[in-house]
């Protein structure tokens, strides 16, 4: 509520400065909550210049200002160009970037793209729709959404209805915010369903009440949220086999003091981290070989069988087939390359997941008849390559434990028929 002055200015083509043309005094008696206008949307709402040029059509909302009392908002567009990719971002005063992605769901049916946007609580939200035709994202549509929950009016009693008996005055009690029960129930449901987003939103609602009496509930909810978040990050990092992500997830779990709640996930993550560290250690051992050692291996005119097979296995993992490397001269050529084609550079850039299982099994079989001691006796550098091949192939077997027994080892490019066994 209050009084506000509104001044309008206009500037003609020949005017140097805008002139005051009209003034208003606005008296507001509005009651209720006011919400800040989302940042970054002051430049005009609705379709942008790129909207028509990208061949888009707004199906659900043509106006850039949306008022809704629904918790889930659906926005649909039609694409006339299949090569256009759309994306949507959500902003609001209570929304963190990592939360925003989990509040948006995209579905595509033919050339119709629909976004379901969940609005966590009443207020104003900004929605930016971006289009990409292969030259980067372009802003195509801006919306501001005003979300207000509807309040159903209580039905008035009929004039013919019997008058109600007067009720006794209620017993004195502490005033309880009616939203408190709703938020606590939402929090408990989110914990039961292991819904991280709903729990995060419920905790925000509880905190915004500013009631000291819900301190224990908030602490309990935050602990459960920590458990959910750490479990998700541990599982994702283990699945991705990403060393940095594993370190970060394990450190977060330790910092949040929830390791005792995630024993199984922590054990799996630590085991995967140890395996990745071993692979990195083996790779660094090969990369640490000096040029003199590489030259020593390359200098063999008639290499011992152990050395030849180890280098065939090493080069097989790097994409050189057996029919090429069974001739030692071709191995010497590969070892003699420099720069981006050097064997050490290729080993450094090699990704374990890019090595086909059948090729890894082929490399394993190429060195199967030799022990580390046998290789070390004839070549210290060859022994380093031997350890690298063995460690790498063992890791690939572990990653494919469920199907490894069905795959036939492959060392030759000539065998292009199926590599699965019966």
How much is the pLDDT for 58? 92
How much is the pLDDT for 374? 94
- Residue 4, burial from CB neighbour count under 10 angstroms (0-12, 13-18, 19+): exposed
How much is the pLDDT for 353? 86
How much is the pLDDT for 406? 92
- Residue 175 pLDDT > 80, yes or no? no
- Residue 170 pLDDT > 70, yes or no? no
- Residue 174 pLDDT > 60, yes or no? no
How much is the pLDDT for 270? 95
237-268 tens-digit pLDDT: 998 888 999 999 999 999 999 999 999 999 99
Boundaries of CATH 2.60.40.10 in the chain? 46-147
Least confident of 24-38, 170-184, 221-235, 405-419: 170-184
How much is the pLDDT for 55? 87
- Residue 275 pLDDT > 80, yes or no? yes
CA-closest candidate to residue 375, choices 360, 397, 390: 390
At how many degrees (to 10) do helices 263-287 and 380-399 cross? Answer: 150
How much is the pLDDT for 289? 87
**What percentage of the chain has pLDDT greater than the value 90?**
47
What topology is assigned to 46-147 in CATH?
A: Immunoglobulin-like (2.60.40)
How much is the pLDDT for 32? 60
Boundaries of CATH 1.20.920.60 in the chain? 288-406
What is the pTM (predicted TM-score) of this model? 0.56
Q: How far apart are CA 41 and CA 92, in angstroms?
A: 11
Q: How far apart are CA 106 and CA 103, in angstroms?
A: 10
7-37 tens-digit pLDDT: 888 888 888 888 888 888 888 776 666 667 7
- Residue 198 pLDDT > 90, yes or no? no
Q: For domain 288-406, give its CATH number from 3.40.50.10490, 2.60.120.10, 3.40.50.720, 1.20.920.60.
A: 1.20.920.60
Average pLDDT over residues 174-203: 83
Counting Cα atoms < 13 Å in the Cβ hemisphere of 306 gives: 19
């Amino acid at each position: 509520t209050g009084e506000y002055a509104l001044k309008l200015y206009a500037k003609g083509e020949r005017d140097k400065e805008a002139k005051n043309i009209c003034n208003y005094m606005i008296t507001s008696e509005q009651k209720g909550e006011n919400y800040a206008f989302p940042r970054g949307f002051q430049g005009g709402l609705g379709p942008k210049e790129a909207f028509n040029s990208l061949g888009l059509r707004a199906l659900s909302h043509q106006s850039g200002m949306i008022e809704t009392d629904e918790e889930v908002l659906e926005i649909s567009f039609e694409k006339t160009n299949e090569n256009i990719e759309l994306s949507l971002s959500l902003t609001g005063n209570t929304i963190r970037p990592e939360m925003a992605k989990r509040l948006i769901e995209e579905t595509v049916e033919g050339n119709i793209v629909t976004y379901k946007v969940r609005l966590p609580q009443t207020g104003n939200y900004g929605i930016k729709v971006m289009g990409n035709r292969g030259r980067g994202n372009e802003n195509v549509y801006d919306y501001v959404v005003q979300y207000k929950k509807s309040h159903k009016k209580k039905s008035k009693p009929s004039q013919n209805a019997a008058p109600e008996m007067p009720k006794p005055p209620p017993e004195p009690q502490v005033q309880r915010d009616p939203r408190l029960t709703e938020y606590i129930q939402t929090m408990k449901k989110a914990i039961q369903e292991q819904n991280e987003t709903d729990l995060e939103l419920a905790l925000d609602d509880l905190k915004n009440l500013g009631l000291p009496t819900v301190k224990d509930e908030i602490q309990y909810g935050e602990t459960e949220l920590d458990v959910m978040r750490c479990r998700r990050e541990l599982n994702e990092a283990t699945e991705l086999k990403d060393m940095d992500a594993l370190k970060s997830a394990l450190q977060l779990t330790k910092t949040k003091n929830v390791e005792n709640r995630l024993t199984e996930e922590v054990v799996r993550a630590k085991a995967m981290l140890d395996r990745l560290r071993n692979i990195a250690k083996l790779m660094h051992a090969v990369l640490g070989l000096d040029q003199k050692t590489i030259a020593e291996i390359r200098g063999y005119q008639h290499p011992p069988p152990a050395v030849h097979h180890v280098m065939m296995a090493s080069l097989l993992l790097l994409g050189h087939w057996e029919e090429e490397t069974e001739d030692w001269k071709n191995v010497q050529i590969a070892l003699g390359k420099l720069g981006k084609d050097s064997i050490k550079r290729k080993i450094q850039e090699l990704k374990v997941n890019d090595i086909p299982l059948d090729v890894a099994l082929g490399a394993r079989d190429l060195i199967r008849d030799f022990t580390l001691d046998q290789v070390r006796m004839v070549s210290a550098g060859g022994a380093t390559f031997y350890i690298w091949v063995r460690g790498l192939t063992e890791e690939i077997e572990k990653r494919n434990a469920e199907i490894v027994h069905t795959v036939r080892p492959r060392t030759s490019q000539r065998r292009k028929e199926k590599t699965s066994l019966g």
